[in-house]
């Protein structure tokens, strides 16, 4: 059986969210409709941005999940990404710090969805 994993993130405005994520990930969408846009993240992995499922998503609503961008590099690369995102005005929820799996930081998209950057296991 062939499987793939698609993370779906609910957003208020899919095209605006796609611009945000496209800038962060330095990539273009692989599929686009007005309310549903996907990014191919590599073999078996994709990110989907879907609007219209919930009305008026707010960053104030607590989130219980995260998108994790697993980086094939060490702490220097994670710190560099942190500084780059910070310079772009991305909301930082938790600055770089050590966890059991290595250096990580936590950011949020404009709708309040959490984005973690961490080393790949």
Written as six digits, the tokens of 15 are: 């095209």
Which residues belong to CATH 3.30.720.110 in the chain?
Answer: 66-121
Which residues belong to CATH 3.30.720.120 in the chain?
Answer: 1-53
By percentage, how much of the chain surpasses pLDDT 70? 98
CATH 3.30.720.110 fits 66-121, yes or no: yes
CATH 3.30.720.120 fits 1-53, yes or no: yes
Give the number of other CB atoms < 10 A from CB of residue 14: 23
In three-state secondary structure terms, 46 is: strand
Q: Is the pLDDT reported for residue 15 higher than 90? A: yes
**What is the pTM assigned to this prediction?**
0.87
For the segment 54-74, what is each residue's pLDDT rounded down to a tens digit? 777 777 777 778 999 999 999
């Amino acid at each position: 059986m062939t499987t793939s994993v698609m993370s779906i993130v609910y957003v208020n405005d899919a095209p605006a969210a796609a611009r945000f994520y496209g800038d962060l990930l330095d990539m273009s969408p692989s599929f686009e409709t007005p309310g549903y846009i996907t990014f191919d993240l590599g073999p078996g992995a994709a990110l989907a941005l879907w609007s219209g499922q919930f009305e008026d998503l707010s960053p104030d609503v607590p989130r219980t999940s995260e998108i994790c961008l697993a980086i094939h590099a060490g702490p220097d690369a994670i710190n560099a990404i942190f500084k780059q995102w910070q310079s772009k005005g991305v909301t930082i929820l938790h600055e770089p710090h050590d966890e059991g799996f290595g250096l990580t930081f936590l950011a949020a998209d404009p709708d309040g969805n959490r984005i973690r950057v961490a080393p790949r296991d």
